C-alpha cells in the first residue's frame, strides 16, 4: 500500500525526455498526415483536411490516455493481466464474425464502435506485453505463454494480418528471453514458426507476390512492384535535403497509401535523407530511453512490461522503415505515431503512458 501511495504522488517524476520524444513524433505525424493526405482527401471527400482533422481528434484522445495512464500505478495491470488477455481474445474472435467485424480490402480487422473503427490486433500487442510480463514476473510459465501466443497469432493471421502477427512473435520472443526463461524451449519452436510462415506465404497469392516482388523489384513495374517502385522514386527524389514541406509529387495519386503505411516515403521526398535520418534517430532514442527505464526497474513485472512496450514500438518502426527502403517485403505495418490511423495511434500512446508511469516509479520497484 505504501508503494502504491508513493507511486501515485511521484507521477511528476516520469521520464520527460521520453515524453518530449513521443510528443515530437505525434506532432510531426499530424503535420505529415495533413500534408500527405490532401490530394486523396480532396478527391474522395471534397475536404482537403478530412484525414488531418480525424488524426488530430485521435491524437488528442491518445494523448489524453497517455496522461491518464501515466498517473495510474502500473502495478494494477499485473492484477488485471488475465482479464485483459481474455477480453483481447474475445475481441479477436469477434472481428471474424460477419456483422460484427468490418471488412475492407479483403481483410476483416475492425470492429465499429461508433466514433472509431477499433482494431483488436493493435490492442493485442499491448495486452500480450502485460500478460507475458505477468506470467514471467514470478515463474517461468512456458505452456501458458506459448498457448496465448499461438492462439493470438492464429486469430490475427485469420484476419489476415501477417505483419502484425510477425510483430507479436518478435516482441513475445524478446520478453521471453528478457525474463531469463529457458531459451531452449523457444528456440525449438523457431523451425515450426518458419515452416508455418512459409506455408501462409505460399498458400496466399498476394503474400507470395509480395515476396517475389521483394526478390525481384524490377518485375511487373505497373503491377505487383508498382508500390515499392513509387516508394523508392519518392525517397530518391528527396535527395539530401528534400523538396520542401508540401512539395511532394508522389502524393498526387502516384504513391499508394501515402498517409498510412508509406508516410515515410513522403517524409523522405519532402525532407530528404536528413529528414529521414532525423526520424530514425528519434525512434532509436525512444527505444534507448525505454530500455534504460527497464534497466533501472527492480520489479520484474515493471521491467518486463517496459521491455515489451519498447520492443513493440521498436520492432514495428524497424519493419515499416525496412520495407520502405526495400530491405523487407511490404507488410502493411504502420509507422508508430506518424502513420494515419486510429487504433494504432491510440494504443501506441496508451502504451507510452504506462511506460512513463513505470519510469516515475523506478525507485519504488
Confidence at residue 4, expressed as pLDDT on a 0 to 100 scale: 44
Of residues 224 and 34, which shows the higher confidence score? Answer: 34
Mean pLDDT within 50-62 = 95
Which residues make beta-bridge pairs with 107? 104
**Torsion, CA 252, CA 255, CA 257, CA 261, rounded to 10:** -130
Percent of the chain exceeding pLDDT 70 equals 89
Which residues make beta-bridge pairs with 112? 117
- Asked whether 349 and 339 are in contact (CB, 8 A), the reply is no
Of residues 204 and 355, which shows the higher confidence score? Answer: 355
Residue 8, pLDDT > 50, answer no
Confidence at residue 326, expressed as pLDDT on a 0 to 100 scale: 86
Residue 2, pLDDT > 60, answer no
Q: Measured on CA atoms in the order 236, 239, 240, 245, is the torsion positive or negative? A: negative
Confidence of residue 115 (pLDDT cuts 50, 70, 90): low
Confidence of residue 92 (pLDDT cuts 50, 70, 90): very high
Residue 186, pLDDT > 70, answer yes
Confidence at residue 32, expressed as pLDDT on a 0 to 100 scale: 97
Residue 29, pLDDT > 90, answer yes
Of residues 197 and 67, which shows the higher confidence score? Answer: 67
How far apart CA 81 and CA 103 sit, in angstroms, is 29
Confidence at residue 9, expressed as pLDDT on a 0 to 100 scale: 41
**Torsion, CA 71, CA 76, CA 81, CA 82, rounded to 10:** -140
Give pLDDT tens digits for 129-151. Answer: 999 999 999 877 888 999 999 99
Contacts of residue 355, Cβ cutoff 8 Å, sequence gap at least 6: 18, 290, 293, 306, 309, 310
Confidence of residue 189 (pLDDT cuts 50, 70, 90): confident
How far apart CA 238 and CA 265 sit, in angstroms, is 9
Residue 11, pLDDT > 70, answer no
Mean pLDDT within 23-33 = 97
- Asked whether 252 and 244 are in contact (CB, 8 A), the reply is no
Q: Which domain holds residue 285?
A: 2-364
How far apart CA 231 and CA 233 sit, in angstroms, is 5
Helical residues (DSSP H) of the chain, grouped into ranges: 2-8, 16-36, 38-45, 50-71, 75-79, 81-94, 120-138, 142-157, 162-178, 183-188, 190-202, 205-215, 226-238, 263-296, 300-324, 343-360
- Asked whether 346 and 29 are in contact (CB, 8 A), the reply is no
- Asked whether 288 and 313 are in contact (CB, 8 A), the reply is no
Give pLDDT tens digits for 14-27. Answer: 899 999 999 999 99
Confidence of residue 199 (pLDDT cuts 50, 70, 90): confident
Which residues make beta-bridge pairs with 102? 110
Specify the 3-state DSSP secondary structure of 4. helix
From the centroid of its chain, how far is CA 84?
A: 19
Mean pLDDT within 146-158 = 92
Give pLDDT tens digits for 260-318. Answer: 999 999 999 999 999 999 999 999 999 999 999 999 998 999 999 999 999 999 999 99
| Average pLDDT for the chain | 88
Confidence at residue 3, expressed as pLDDT on a 0 to 100 scale: 52
Please return the burial class of 107, using the count of CB atoms within 10 Å of its CB with bins 0-12, 13-18 and 19+: middle
Confidence at residue 223, expressed as pLDDT on a 0 to 100 scale: 66
- Asked whether 130 and 81 are in contact (CB, 8 A), the reply is yes
Confidence at residue 105, expressed as pLDDT on a 0 to 100 scale: 61
Confidence of residue 340 (pLDDT cuts 50, 70, 90): very high
Lowest mean pLDDT among 133-142, 203-212, 344-353: 203-212
Residue 12, pLDDT > 90, answer no
According to DSSP, residue 239 is labeled T
Of the candidates 26, 12, 29, 23, the residue with the CA atom closest to the CA atom of residue 259 = 29
C-alpha cell, 83: 482479464
Residue 322, pLDDT > 50, answer yes
Upstream peptide bond of 364 is cis (omega within 30 degrees of 0): no
According to DSSP, residue 356 is labeled H
Tally the domains of the chain. 1
Of the candidates 50, 52, 19, the residue with the CA atom closest to the CA atom of residue 35 = 52
How far apart CA 96 and CA 87 sit, in angstroms, is 15
- Asked whether 234 and 266 are in contact (CB, 8 A), the reply is yes
Amino acid at each position: 500500500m505504501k508503494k502504491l501511495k508513493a507511486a501515485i504522488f511521484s507521477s511528476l517524476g516520469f521520464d520527460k525526455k521520453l515524453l518530449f520524444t513521443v510528443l515530437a513524433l505525434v506532432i510531426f505525424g499530424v503535420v505529415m498526415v495533413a500534408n500527405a493526405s490532401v490530394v486523396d482527401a480532396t478527391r474522395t471527400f471534397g475536404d482537403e483536411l478530412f484525414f488531418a482533422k480525424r488524426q488530430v481528434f485521435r491524437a488528442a484522445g491518445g494523448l489524453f490516455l497517455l496522461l491518464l495512464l501515466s498517473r495510474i500505478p502500473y502495478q494494477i495491470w499485473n492484477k488485471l493481466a488475465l482479464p485483459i488477455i481474455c477480453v483481447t481474445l474475445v475481441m479477436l474472435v469477434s472481428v471474424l464474425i460477419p456483422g460484427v467485424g468490418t471488412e475492407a480490402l479483403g481483410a476483416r480487422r475492425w470492429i465499429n464502435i461508433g466514433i472509431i473503427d477499433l482494431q483488436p490486433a493493435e490492442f493485442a500487442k499491448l495486452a500480450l506485453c502485460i500478460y507475458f510480463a505477468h506470467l514471467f514476473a514470478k515463474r517461468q510459465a512456458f505452456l501458458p505463454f506459448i498457448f496465448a501466443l499461438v492462439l493470438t497469432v492464429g486469430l490475427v493471421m485469420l484476419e489476415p494480418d501477417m505483419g502484425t502477427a510477425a510483430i507479436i512473435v518478435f516482441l513475445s520472443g524478446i520478453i521471453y528471453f528478457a525474463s531469463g526463461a529457458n531459451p531452449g524451449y523457444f528456440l525449438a519452436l523457431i523451425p515450426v514458426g518458419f515452416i508455418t510462415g512459409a506455408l501462409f506465404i505460399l498458400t496466399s497469392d498476394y503474400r507470395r507476390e509480395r515476396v517475389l516482388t521483394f526478390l525481384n523489384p524490377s518485375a511487373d513495374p505497373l503491377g505487383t512492384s508498382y508500390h515499392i517502385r513509387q516508394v523508392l522514386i519518392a525517397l530518391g527524389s528527396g535527395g539530401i535535403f528534400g523538396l520542401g514541406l508540401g512539395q511532394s509529387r508522389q502524393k498526387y495519386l502516384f504513391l499508394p497509401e501515402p498517409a498510412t503505411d508509406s508516410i515515410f516515403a513522403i517524409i523522405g521526398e519532402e525532407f530528404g535523407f536528413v529528414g529521414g535520418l532525423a526520424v530514425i534517430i528519434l525512434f532509436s532514442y525512444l527505444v534507448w530511453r525505454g530500455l534504460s527505464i527497464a534497466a533501472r526497474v527492480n520489479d520484474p513485472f515493471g521491467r518486463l512490461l517496459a521491455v515489451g512496450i519498447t520492443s513493440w514500438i521498436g520492432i514495428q518502426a524497424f519493419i515499416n522503415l525496412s520495407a520502405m527502403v526495400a530491405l523487407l517485403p511490404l507488410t502493411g505495418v504502420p509507422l508508430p505515431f506518424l502513420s494515419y490511423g486510429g487504433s494504432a495511434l491510440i494504443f501506441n500512446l496508451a502504451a507510452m503512458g504506462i511506460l512513463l508511469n513505470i519510469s516515475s516509479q523506478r525507485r519504488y520497484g
